[in-house]
Amino acid sequence: MVRKLKFHEQKLLKKVDFISWKVDNYGKEAKILRKFHIRKAADYTKYNKLSREVRELYEKISKLENTDPFKKEAGTMLVEKLYHMGVVKHNLNLEVASKVSASSFCKRRLPVVMVKSRLSENLKNATDLIEQGHVRVGPDMITDPAFLVTRNMEDFVTWVDSSKIKQHVLAYNDQRDDFALA
């Protein structure tokens, strides 16, 4: 015979749905969220969905016959797109598309690119600077840390002109323009 649940146990069971229990891949999601300092789990879910779709597309293309001209064209288009996005390291063959994961997309986030280009010392600091409006990519100020930076846009990540950080860096390098202060 099963004992009657106490009040606090009943209350806990109301909050937990055992039928649609969410599996977390043994903490893998939490580990990646910490590693790349992702504050919204929904972003990681989107990256996971994107990587799954890329792998499914790879499977469909690889199932085509080798004599089919569309297979080569579609394969090169997919690999070129992934390479220009920065998700894969090289664009030699179609096999690289099978290894795309959510962390491949996480590596192209703006805070990670800032740390890699030494604009910030760590991911938390880079995320805070982006949210505060100190960073721009090209002419546009970016306030979303989930912004994905392509290989072409990597060189255009810089400080906003009105940023105190940019003024401090220019003053330190003795390149500050006194005319811009007026």
The span from the first CA to the last CA of the chain, in angstroms, equals 82
User: Which of 70, 56, 60 has the alpha carbon at shortest distance from 100?
Assistant: 56
**Residue 140: its H or E element:** strand 140-141
Residues 39-92: tens digit of each pLDDT: 888 899 999 999 999 999 999 999 999 999 999 999 999 999 999 999 999 888
- pLDDT tens for 157-167 read 998 988 888 78
CA distance 154 to 133: 18
The reported pLDDT for the residue numbered 96 is 92
Q: What is the pTM of this model?
A: 0.77
State residue 182's pLDDT score: 46
* 17: pLDDT strictly greater than 70: no
- Measured distance CA(122)–CA(102) in Å, rounded: 21
For the chain, what is the radius of gyration of the CA atoms? 23
Domain ranges of the chain: 27-106, 110-181
pLDDT band at 21 (very low <50, low <70, confident <90, very high): low
Please give the Cα distance from 160 to 133 (Å, whole number): 8
Interior/surface letters 94-126, b for 16+ CB within 10 angstroms, e for the rest: bebbeebbbbbbbbbbbbbbbbeeebbeebeeb
- pLDDT digits 0-9 by tens, 113-126: 999 999 999 999 99
Element (H, E) at 137: strand 135-137
